[in-house]
Amino acid sequence: METKQIILGGTQRAVTFDHLLVNIGEDFNPETGTFRCRLPGAYYFSFTVGKFPKKMLSVMLVKNGMEVQAIAYDGYQNQGRKVQSQSVMVSLKPMNTVYLLLQDNPHYAIYSNVGPYITFSGYLVYPDSTSSVGYLNNHLSPPGLHLPGCPPPVDAYYDWRRRTTSEEPRSAFSVARTTSALGESRVRREREALKFDVEYVNIGGHFNITSGRFTCHFPGEYYFAFTVGKHPRRAVSVKLMMGRGEVRAMVFNEDMSRQREMQSQSLLLSLKRGDSVWLYSQQDDGYAVYSNQGRYTTFSGFLVYPDGESMNRDRTFP
């Protein structure tokens, strides 16, 4: 979905859209900006919003009209335009709603034009195994079952009756922080993973929220995305790490102003059984990650393409 408009805080709270790119299942209403869940499961949502010149930016992803899942924020009120992004995976039940909410204050505004600056996307990653519809292979309808907006399967080798939900490797997590993490001047012997205290989704239990590390149980290609908040008067440097410390991606902002803003990053990684993935925040004095109950800082990952050999492998992990 895209929007080509300017919305000022205090005049309209829900972000609506005027350009619909994809709407499989027709579960999204662009006129109200609301997605209404029809098929229960784990959904991945991502959004990018533009900041209006001389205004601040604060847009929240809201579930069921009251539960804030994550936020995109920029406290600068300068002349320039910016965009901020955020993403998170949430578990939805039938009739649950998800939409974007603009801060109800005239000091906040979002900006877009024919570019467009503002986008909002959602995708059903894993349907609930208890769903009467069963497993939807990339949103394709199984034989004999018609879902609005979903074309029939075209893969001649896909046997719906033979392949059940339990036979599909599933691995996904999405977590957030509600507190800041401040670097300290004391010397640390090893790099510590960034910890999280909110767990949206942890399918398979492969993310250890205590240690802050994801461990691969099913080899294949995984998608990872993270967003971190910059603390006032501090720089931010957060790296996506593998194993014992191999850097795969990072975000960085050395601006030491008092304003808060955010940085985002994402990538695909090919993982083997036992590989670990985690975030590392620079722990020196002068660096920090900012978050609060608005959940500025998030981390998500899920299996996109399992290796063929993992389909027939024992699901236990030593």
One domain for residues 113 and 220: no
Confirm whether 104 is domain-assigned.
Answer: yes
Band the pLDDT of 262: cuts 50, 70, 90.
Answer: confident
Confirm whether 165 is domain-assigned.
Answer: no
Q: Return d(Cα 43, Cα 243) in angstroms, integer.
A: 28
Of 94, 127, 160, which closes a domain? 127
User: What mean pLDDT is reported for the chain?
Assistant: 82
* Beta strand spans in 34-154 (E): 34-36, 41-51, 57-63, 67-74, 82-92, 97-102, 109-111, 118-127
One domain for residues 207 and 122: no
Band the pLDDT of 136: cuts 50, 70, 90.
Answer: very low
One domain for residues 123 and 176: no
CA 288 to chain centre: 21
Confirm whether 146 is domain-assigned.
Answer: no
One domain for residues 182 and 95: no
Of 69, 92, 127, which closes a domain? 127
Total domains in the fold of the chain: 2
Confirm whether 18 is domain-assigned.
Answer: yes
Helix (H, G, I), strand (E, B) or coil at 44: strand
Confirm whether 244 is domain-assigned.
Answer: yes
Predicted confidence (pLDDT) per residue in 60-83, tens digit: 999 998 888 998 888 777 667 778
One domain for residues 71 and 14: yes
One domain for residues 13 and 85: yes
Q: Return d(Cα 55, Cα 80) in angstroms, integer.
A: 10
Band the pLDDT of 238: cuts 50, 70, 90.
Answer: very high
Of 64, 93, 127, which closes a domain? 127
Residue 277: predicted pLDDT: 98
Residue 143: predicted pLDDT: 45
Q: Are 19 and 116 contacting, i.e. CB atoms less than 8 angstroms apart?
A: yes
- What number is the average pLDDT over the span 232-248? 90
Band the pLDDT of 310: cuts 50, 70, 90.
Answer: low
One domain for residues 120 and 249: no
CATH of the domain at 68: 2.60.120.40
One domain for residues 186 and 239: yes
Question: 104 versus 208: which is more confidently predicted?
Answer: 208
Q: What is the domain range of residue 99?
A: 5-127
Confirm whether 155 is domain-assigned.
Answer: no
Q: Is 159 exposed, middle or buried (0-12, 13-18, 19+ CB in 10 A)?
A: exposed
Q: Is the pLDDT of residue 91 over 70?
A: yes
pTM for this prediction: 0.79
One domain for residues 119 and 178: no
Q: Return d(Cα 236, Cα 263) in angstroms, integer.
A: 9
One domain for residues 176 and 123: no
Q: Return d(Cα 118, Cα 19) in angstroms, integer.
A: 11
Predicted confidence (pLDDT) per residue in 269-288, tens digit: 999 999 999 999 988 888 89
Residue 126: predicted pLDDT: 96
One domain for residues 69 and 185: no
Question: 152 versus 283: which is more confidently predicted?
Answer: 283
Residues 148, 149, 154, 157, Cα dihedral to 10°: -60
Q: Return d(Cα 72, Cα 86) in angstroms, integer.
A: 6
Q: What are phi and psi of 24, to 5 degrees?
A: -65, 125
One domain for residues 112 and 35: yes
Closest residue by Cα to residue 216 from 194, 247, 192, 243: 243
Question: 155 versus 167: which is more confidently predicted?
Answer: 167
- What number is the average pLDDT over the span 123-138? 66
Confirm whether 143 is domain-assigned.
Answer: no
Q: Is the pLDDT of residue 84 over 50?
A: yes
Confirm whether 132 is domain-assigned.
Answer: no
